Structure 1
Amino acid sequence: MSVFRQPGILGRTTRRRVMGVTAALSAASVEALAVGCWFGLITGPRTTSTALAGLGLLFCGSLFRAGVFGATVNNLGDFLEPRRLSVAVALTSGWVVWLLVAELIGGGLGIVVATAVLTGILTGQFLLERRVFRRYAAASVTFTPMIPGLLMAVGASALLATAWFTDWGLASPPIALGVTTIVIEIEALHIGVLVFGLFTFLAHQRRFQRVLDP
């Protein structure tokens, strides 16, 4: 009965949920694309050009993903504002540290340790973003985003495991298109990117839900 007495409450709640899901999908898509492209570059032969290109893609993805969070909880603002740039730099550095830890230790143990490290990094990253982009109305939100950080770290570990421990691929029969023949190939890394994107979406959805509807 209280809903009928206050119809605006239901409308605001629905709008917040739709906004949260839309923002989570946007952030997850940007992050999966950026991290997936970066990962695809560094899993091949590493050169100075591929390293710089990968870092550039990762930084741009981090900047846009931070922009999605800022536009959702506050306003779009200026992407090149120093505080917002610092958020993107911190996130980019976090991904690099995660991969370095995994490679230095190596094997399954390296993935486990790197997952724990990335969970801590992402939790701190989310706290930093909330401090930089938070709305005045949501200034009292005090939850620690440990679960979103863990979800995203698990997805990243699945991506890393597919690159290190799997070597298979699927290919479709040749498809004739006029004078051209195409073959669709799916590799393990592609599945890893999809799994990472799914976990990233779940992480951001929980995060936006807690921020928009504390």
Structure 2
Amino acid sequence: MFASELLDGFSRTPFFVVAILFVPIVLGMVAMGIHVGGVGPLGAVGLFFGGLVTWTLTEYWLHRTLFHWEPEASWGPRFHFLLHGVHHHWPKDRLRLVMPPTVNLPLTVLFGSLFWLVLGPRVWFFHAGFSLGYMTYDLMHYYLHHGHPKAHLLRKLQGHHMSHHFNKAYKDKRFGVSSPIWDWVFHTNSPAQP
């Protein structure tokens, strides 16, 4: 992917690294929320759940817009390839299915800062839910590409995502990975009619 072996190494991440990083991050955010206080138990659960739901929309929106955007410029194809095209080119590459820490950690800080502007000190429970949603997405994405689900719901989710990769009718459809809900809401679940 990169001429530099050092850069290429930073682009490869085993799936378990996401859990190693984000389980403590999520628990730390919950602990900070408890420490800061000002939110009752019901409010904390609501904020946490709100963060999870916000993640599902963010996942859908980023995948549909940014990840599938190819700017009409000389650098456009390279930009798209580095951001997401590499995944569509090699969808079974076990080391390029989750976001590397060089990307997900700065994004965690960026989103947390944006949430702080809106929520202030109540940010911790919300961002914990959002971050748990991200971690679930990344691990689910890996599993959908390499797992052999037995549960009906997981098989349906796998089929939903694999159709995005391997069925040309869904190339610009089915952007939800960990949840197909927003594909239904925004009418990107069914293939375009001829």
**TM-score, normalization by structure 1:** 0.36
More relative contact order, 1 or 2 (CA 8 Å, 6+ apart)? 2
Larger Rg: 1
Considering fraction of residues, name the structure with more helix.
1
